[in-house]
């Protein structure tokens, strides 16, 4: 672990300057074993409901060695009540791993009412901090591509954690998404049948398959020109327009699946009578 250097801030105020009668909390980096985590969790009373999927996500990160120490401490009151950090501690128990965790002890119980009321940092915030342009659209594009490559895109929206912000940052750093995000701005500016990140994902994937034909395909979706009944893009645009008009409630996954099915039919020279996708089929691969 890297050494931590503390610097004196001459302008800082101390707890005694603000509330002389308030006991000072003690914050230190501690080694938390599953046994210690279990002991702390005995004081987990009157906390918010736990989210098992989030616990599993954190436990998987810990087992993989991908969980990192942050400055946000587990918070324990002077009476031993756990005020914050239950998911991290449960994940330590579930993973059976030992982790270094900042722990704030002797906290005033009154702070419980104001914990987690700030806006959570988004993946776009993390990418922007790393100097990435168009960070929100870039983050949304990376999430879709990450799930596509894992083969789990059809599970998106099932209230599960997609990936850590660090994982998405690493993904963006290892994939050249900027040309597709730039191209998506043009498509989306002229046609709202697909959302911005969906345009970017399709451009990125088709660019790898057949760039010129892929661009022509996306341009046809955008313009609707030179299409006849039975043409895959004609059917696709009709479905997307009906969804836009409120006749269907398509998700991003459904729009992408239908678009890829239209591409596959076009690539195979098929004239089709209808364009549908059901989740039971599995997400279509690109031919």
For the stretch 75-129, pLDDT in tens is: 998 888 898 889 999 999 999 999 999 999 988 876 665 555 445 668 888 888 7
Query: pLDDT for 14-38, tens place per residue?
Result: 444 444 444 578 899 999 999 999 9
Q: What is the pLDDT of residue 257?
A: 96
Cβ density class 29-55: b for 16+ within 10 Å, e for less = ebebebebbeebbeeeeebeeeeeebb
pLDDT of the residue at 235: 95
**Which is it for strands 99-107 and 26-32: parallel, antiparallel or unpaired?**
antiparallel
Q: Is 245 exposed, middle or buried (0-12, 13-18, 19+ CB in 10 A)?
A: exposed
pLDDT single digits (tens) 181-228: 999 999 999 999 999 999 999 999 999 999 999 999 999 999 999 899
**Percent composition of the chain: helix, strand, coil (DSSP 3-state, to 5):** 50, 10, 40
CA dihedral 82, 87, 93, 97 (to 10 degrees): -110
CA distance 219 to 202: 12
| Separation CA 144–CA 124 (nearest Å) | 14
Confidence of residue 46 (pLDDT cuts 50, 70, 90): low
* Residue of 162 and 41 predicted with greater confidence: 41
- From the number of C-beta atoms within 10 Å of its C-beta (0-12, 13-18, 19+), residue 284 rates as middle
Model's pTM, two decimal places?
0.66
3-state secondary structure (DSSP) of residue 31: strand
Q: Are 102 and 72 in contact (CB under 8 A)?
A: yes
Report in angstroms the alpha-carbon separations of 137 from 41, 123, 140, 180, 228.
Answer: 39, 10, 5, 11, 33
pLDDT at 19: 44
Euclidean distance between CA atoms 72 and 27, whole angstroms:
10
C-alpha neighbours within 13 Å on the C-beta side of residue 270:
14
Residue 232, pLDDT > 70, answer: yes
Mean pLDDT of 54-82: 88
pLDDT-based confidence at residue 6 (cuts at 50, 70, 90)? very low
Helix or strand holding residue 26 (H, E): strand 26-32
CA distances (Å), 242 to each of 228, 239, 247, 262, 273, in order?
18, 5, 5, 16, 16
The predicted-structure confidence for 118-177, as pLDDT tens digits, reads as follows 456 688 888 887 889 899 999 999 999 999 999 888 877 655 566 788 889 999 999 999
Taking the C-alpha atoms of residue 250 and residue 240, their distance in angstroms, rounded to an integer, is 8
Query: Cβ of 171: how many Cβ atoms within 10 Å?
Result: 17
pLDDT value of position 110: 67
């Amino acid at each position: 672990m890297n050494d931590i250097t503390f610097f004196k801030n001459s302008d800082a105020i101390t707890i005694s300057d603000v509330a002389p009668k308030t006991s000072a909390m003690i914050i230190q980096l501690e080694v938390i074993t599953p046994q210690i985590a279990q002991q702390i969790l005995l004081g987990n009373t009157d906390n918010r409901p736990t989210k098992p999927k989030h616990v599993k996500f954190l436990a998987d990160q810990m087992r993989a060695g991908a969980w990192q120490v942050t400055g946000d401490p587990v918070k324990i009151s002077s009476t031993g009540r756990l005020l914050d950090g239950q998911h991290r501690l449960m994940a330590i128990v579930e993973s059976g791993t030992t982790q270094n965790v900042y722990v704030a002890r002797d906290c005033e119980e009154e702070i419980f009412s104001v914990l987690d009321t700030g806006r959570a940092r988004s993946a776009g915030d993390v990418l922007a901090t790393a100097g990435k342009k168009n960070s929100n659209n870039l983050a949304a594009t990376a999430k879709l591509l990450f799930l596509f490559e894992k083969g789990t895109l059809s599970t998106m929206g099932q209230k599960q954690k997609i990936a850590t912000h660090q994982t998405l940052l690493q993904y963006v750093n290892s994939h050249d998404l900027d040309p597709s995000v730039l191209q998506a701005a043009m498509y989306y500016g002229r046609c709202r049948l697909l959302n911005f990140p969906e345009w970017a994902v399709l451009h990125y994937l088709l660019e790898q398959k057949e760039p010129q034909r892929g661009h022509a395909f996306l341009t046809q979706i955008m313009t609707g020109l030179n299409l006849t009944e039975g043409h895959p893009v004609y059917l696709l645009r009709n479905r997307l327009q009906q969804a836009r008009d409120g006749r269907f409630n398509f998700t991003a996954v459904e729009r992408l699946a239908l678009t890829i099915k239209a591409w596959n039919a076009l690539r195979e020279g098929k004239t089709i009578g209808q364009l549908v996708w059901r989740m039971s089929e599995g997400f279509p691969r690109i031919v």
